[in-house]
Amino acid sequence: MRAFWVAYAITITILGGGFVVADEPAKPMRIGMIGLDTSHCLAFAELLNKEAPDPEVAGFQVVLVYPKGSPDIESSVTRVPEYTTKIRALGVEICDDLDTMISQVDAVLLETNDGRPHLEQVTPVLKARKPVFIDKPVAGSLVDAIAIFQLAKHYETPVFSSSSLRFSKAIQEIRGGSIGPITGCDAYSPCSLEATHPDLFWYGIHGCETLFTVMGAGCESVVRTSTKDFDQVTGVWAGGRIGTFRGIRAGGAGYGGTAFGANGVASLGQFDGYRPLVVEIVKFYRTGQPPVTAEETIDLYAFMEAADESKRRGFVPVKIADVKATAAEAAAKKVAELTATVGAK
pLDDT tens, 320-340? Answer: 999 999 999 999 999 999 998
Residues 64 and 164: their CA atoms lie apart, in Å, by 22
- pLDDT tens, position by position, 135-149: 999 999 999 999 999
Closest-CA residue to 132 (of 114, 113, 154, 109): 109
Percent of the chain at pLDDT > 90 equals: 86
Q: Mean pLDDT, the chain, as a whole number?
A: 91
DSSP label at residue 322: H
Q: Answer whether CATH 3.30.360.10 is correct for domain 166-279+286-335.
A: yes
- Pick the residue with more confidence: 24 or 55? 55
| 65, 70, 123, 126, 130 from 99: Cα distances, Å | 12, 19, 11, 12, 12
Taking alpha carbons only, the member of 9, 37, 40, 13 closest to residue 25 is: 9
CATH among 3.40.50.300, 3.40.50.720, 3.10.150.10, 3.20.20.70 for 26-164: 3.40.50.720
344 pLDDT exceeds 60?
A: no
Q: How far apart are CA 269 and CA 292, in angstroms?
A: 20
Supply φ then ψ for residue 221, to 5 degrees. -150, 155
What value does the mean pLDDT take over residues 82-89?
A: 95
Sign of CA dihedral 110, 298, 250, 255: negative
Structural domain boundaries in the chain: 26-164, 166-279+286-335
* Helix or strand run (H / E) with residue 118: helix 118-127
Indicate whether 260 pLDDT > 80. Answer: yes
Whole-angstrom distance, CA of residue 264 vs CA of residue 334? 45
CA distance 21 to 13: 7
Q: Does residue 236 or residue 17 have the better pLDDT?
A: 236
- Give the separation between CA 51 and CA 44, rounded to whole angstroms: 14
| Residues 73/196, Cβ–Cβ less than 8 Å | yes
pLDDT reported for residue 345: 58
Q: Give the pairing of strands 93-94 and 107-110.
A: unpaired
